[in-house]
Amino acid sequence: MPGSDLNRGLEGITVAETRLSYIDGESGELVIGGFPVKELAVDATYEESVFLLLNDRLPAADELAEFRSDLANRREVGDEVRAVLRRAAEEEKPAMDALRMGAAAANLGTGEENPREDARRVIAVLPTIVAAYWRYRQGAEPVAPHEELGHAANYLYMLTGEEPSDPQVRGLETYLNTVIDHGLNASTFSARTVVSTESDVVSAAAAAVGTLKGPLHGGAPGPVLDMLEEVHESGDAEAYVRETLESGERLMGFGHRVYRVRDPRAAVLSTAAERFYEAAGDDSFFETVQEFENVAVDVLAEHKPDRRLETNVEFYTAALLRGVGVPRDLFTATFGVSRVGGWMAHCLEQLDDNRLIRPRSRYVGETDRTWTPVENR
């Protein structure tokens, strides 16, 4: 049917104004809450990054203490949620399924129906949901949240029952800050679409988690780690890259829908990973990671000289999360633990000046069919 130009996937369409993050894909620039990602990710705590997105400013010391305490007080989940997570673990459901189930029940027992309060609850409780599920998967009971630990440290603590080291905490915190928001990506757009109907932010979080589960949005770090560990064992990065490309398969961790140069988040995470592995005395694995990147970029340039393919955020996410101790099966769920801060900020921003999100589609079906009664078909 006649109509406006078709933009598949809404590519190039602007549907919202935001103060939360800015992306320049041509120059490889990412600004979050007004700060270049390389500055915010390294210097901030996750709580500071969340406060920034929710309030459009950094907190003063007393505000940060209050905010951190408030999030810590919202971390617990009830018996009903734990029962669902136990069942998901027993049935060996993927972590993202468990996270979706837990997120949908995030406001059980809270007695709150305030978007800002619910947003804080969702941000606080997602790490508890992921960690409880993982403990059940290991045949162990969940570890209760540690109210004295910060958001990142508490997440690692709930996974193992042991307080993490400072390098582990700083490494994870850098990751959480780096990926907390990134424009109107699929999961964020889904969250904003849900609240644009004047639904609630808990429903928006559940929808966003469901979107993030798809392999095209957030699912690559696990396969990237598999690739890196295989190459670390074989010691032949070039052979792996050439065999992968010659077989027509995609090389995971390279190229991005938005960036035409190296993903700025990859730069931040590569530095964080290098610092972590040096401190941990595990240089050999990280040397494999660096060698793989160099080899892959060169070989990709041979295979696709008209397209510049460089490392994206998922490549160094795999290396860093492996180092700090996040299990491979929880990589995407940990992405959700970070991105929920962005999701909730976008939901509140949408509600501040709401208009129902309602794009159009182009009809390409028949228009002149004649009805035939069932007995005559």
pLDDT value of position 1:
47
Site of tokens 């009903």: 80
Query: Do 197 and 300 fall within a single domain?
Result: no
Query: Do 185 and 320 fall within a single domain?
Result: no
Residue 375 lies in a domain: no
Instruction: Encode 58-67: b = buried (16+ Cβ within 10 Å), e = exposed.
Output: bbeeeeeeeb
Residue 260 lies in a domain: yes
Residue 165 DSSP code: P
Query: Do 207 and 229 fall within a single domain?
Result: no
Which residue is catalytic, options 47, 48, 151, 256?
A: 256
Query: Do 92 and 187 fall within a single domain?
Result: yes
φ/ψ bin of 85: left (φ > 0), alpha (ψ from -120 to 50), beta (otherwise): alpha
Query: Do 347 and 239 fall within a single domain?
Result: no
DSSP assignment string, 197-247 = TT--HHHHHHHHHHHHTSTTSS--HHHHHHHHHHHHHH--HHHHHHHHHHT
Query: Do 87 and 210 fall within a single domain?
Result: yes
Query: Do 338 and 319 fall within a single domain?
Result: no
Cα-atom radius of gyration of the chain, to the nearest Å? 22
Please write the tens of the pLDDT for every residue from 132-183. Answer: 999 999 999 999 999 999 999 999 999 999 999 999 999 999 999 999 999 9
Residue 268 lies in a domain: yes
Q: How far apart are CA 322 and CA 324, in angstroms?
A: 6
Quick check: 308 pLDDT over 90? no
Residue 16 lies in a domain: no
Residues 6+ apart with CB under 8 A from 97: 88, 213
Confidence of residue 111 (pLDDT cuts 50, 70, 90): low
User: Which runs of E-coded beta strand occur in 40-159?
Assistant: none
Confidence of residue 3 (pLDDT cuts 50, 70, 90): low
Query: Do 290 and 333 fall within a single domain?
Result: no
Query: Do 227 and 346 fall within a single domain?
Result: no
Please write the tens of the pLDDT for every residue from 213-254. Answer: 988 888 878 999 999 999 999 989 999 999 999 998 888 889
Q: How far apart are CA 221 and CA 276, in angstroms?
A: 18
What backbone torsions phi and psi does residue 214 show, to the nearest 5 degrees? Answer: -65, 140
Query: Do 346 and 315 fall within a single domain?
Result: no
Residue 376 lies in a domain: no
Average pLDDT of the residues in 88-111: 92
Mean pLDDT of the chain, nearest integer:
93
217 an active-site residue? no
Which residues are registered as beta bridge partners of 29? Answer: 24
Query: Do 163 and 199 fall within a single domain?
Result: yes
Residue 194 lies in a domain: yes
**CATH number of the domain encompassing residue 294:** 1.10.230.10
Quick check: 4 pLDDT over 70? no
pLDDT value of position 280:
87
Pairing of strands 29-32, 21-24: antiparallel
Average pLDDT of the residues in 257-281: 91
256 an active-site residue? yes
Amino acid at 303: H
Average pLDDT of the residues in 324-342: 97
Q: Which domain holds residue 258?
A: 221-324
Quick check: 334 pLDDT over 90? yes
Structural domain count, the chain: 2
Which residue is catalytic, options 274, 310, 314, 349?
A: 314
Query: Do 185 and 203 fall within a single domain?
Result: yes
305 CA to centre of own chain: 31
